[in-house]
């Protein structure tokens, strides 16, 4: 009831102040919290790891570029999911009428162009990674999200973040390509964790991603198992890859503690809210594990 009241109050403000409503809707379309905390911040931290004494203005430029990339993907996602969101997500800005679907599409296009311009201001390789993520995001929004292949953009996009950050610093190293095979299971788990809170509504609308083809408990257990195997995989590969265990070890240990927290959270509460909370925990888990793995590499 409180959520409905908040939405009604925001809609009233939007009617009385159309410009404020559009600004609020535009801001919400970019999905600011996951975009900034789970994509832009990690990419910028990877750039900092690559060049700790670098120019902070360049770090900000990458942060803004990645925000624009995922803001474009988020805006297109709301445009593509408008009919589904009308049935299951009343808090979405398009459903509340803060902005129109046409506005969301134009915002996606404008942010796409802006992201590429900002990336080119760093270097051409950074722009290539931005273009790759934009293409993966568009494919996910338009088609992959509704199919068994919904995990593929995550499996490519998430491990791209460290390469993106190092490319922006001008210090891309071949060993970072190991992020793709080693981070694949982590990325699939993150994708499934993202879809779990909306599993029932998505399935009723006809989505057939991996999460929707399993029972709820099968999907939940698979997510936990993928995270666990992923953490063990990073640990087992450390002697071969040459990680500094003094850095990697604490990161993997903290990741394991976060996984235990996820398990306890759902085992105790078993609610949609706990699944949504676990999505944020899984994002933090992925960030810590990924950052500790990259920071522990001996790339000199």
Domain ranges of the chain: 28-172, 178-300
Sequential pLDDT tens for the chain (300 residues): 444 445 545 555 455 567 888 999 999 999 999 999 999 999 999 999 999 999 999 999 999 999 999 999 999 999 999 999 998 888 999 999 999 999 999 999 999 999 999 999 999 999 999 999 999 999 999 999 989 999 999 999 999 999 999 999 999 999 999 999 999 999 999 999 999 999 988 888 888 888 999 999 999 999 999 999 999 999 999 999 999 999 999 999 999 999 999 999 999 999 999 999 999 999 999 999 999 999 999 886
pTM score: 0.90
CATH class of the region 178-300 = mainly alpha
Phi/psi for 144 (5° steps) reads -60, -35
CA atoms within 13 A on the CB side of 156: 15
Q: Considering only the top CATH level, what class is 28-172?
A: mainly alpha
Residue 18 structure tokens? 């159309």
CA 228 to chain centre: 19
d(CA 81, CA 104): 11
d(CA 186, CA 247): 19
């Amino acid at each position: 009831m409180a959520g409905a009241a908040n939405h009604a109050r925001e809609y009233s403000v939007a009617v009385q102040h159309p410009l404020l409503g559009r600004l609020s809707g535009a801001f919400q379309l970019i999905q600011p919290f996951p975009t900034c905390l789970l994509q832009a911040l990690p990419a910028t931290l990877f750039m900092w790891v690559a060049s700790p004494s670098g120019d902070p203005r360049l770090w900000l430029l990458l942060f803004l570029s990645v925000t624009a990339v995922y803001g474009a993907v988020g805006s297109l996602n709301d445009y593509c999911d408008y009919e589904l969101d009308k049935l299951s997500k009343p808090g979405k800005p398009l459903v509340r009428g803060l902005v129109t679907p046409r506005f969301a599409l134009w915002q996606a296009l404008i942010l796409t162009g802006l992201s590429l311009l900002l990336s080119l201001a760093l270097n051409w390789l950074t722009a290539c990674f931005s273009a790759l993520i934009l293409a993966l995001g568009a494919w996910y929004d338009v088609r992959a999200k509704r199919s068994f292949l919904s995990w593929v953009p995550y499996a490519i996009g998430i491990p791209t973040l460290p390469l993106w950050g190092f490319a922006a610093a001008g210090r891309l190293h071949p060993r970072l390509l190991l992020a793709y095979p080693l981070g694949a299971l982590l990325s699939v788990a993150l994708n499934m964790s993202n879809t779990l809170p909306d599993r029932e509504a998505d399935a009723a609308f006809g989505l057939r991603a991996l999460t929707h083809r399993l029972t709820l408990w099968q999907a939940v257990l698979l997510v936990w198992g993928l995270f666990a195997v992923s953490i063990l995989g990073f640990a087992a590969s450390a002697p071969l890859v040459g990680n500094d265990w003094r850095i990697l070890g604490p990161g993997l240990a903290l990741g394991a503690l976060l996984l235990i927290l996820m398990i306890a959270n759902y085992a105790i509460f078993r609610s949609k809210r706990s699944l949504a909370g676990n999505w944020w925990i899984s994002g933090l888990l992925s960030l810590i594990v990924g950052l500790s793995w990259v920071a522990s590499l001996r790339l000199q």
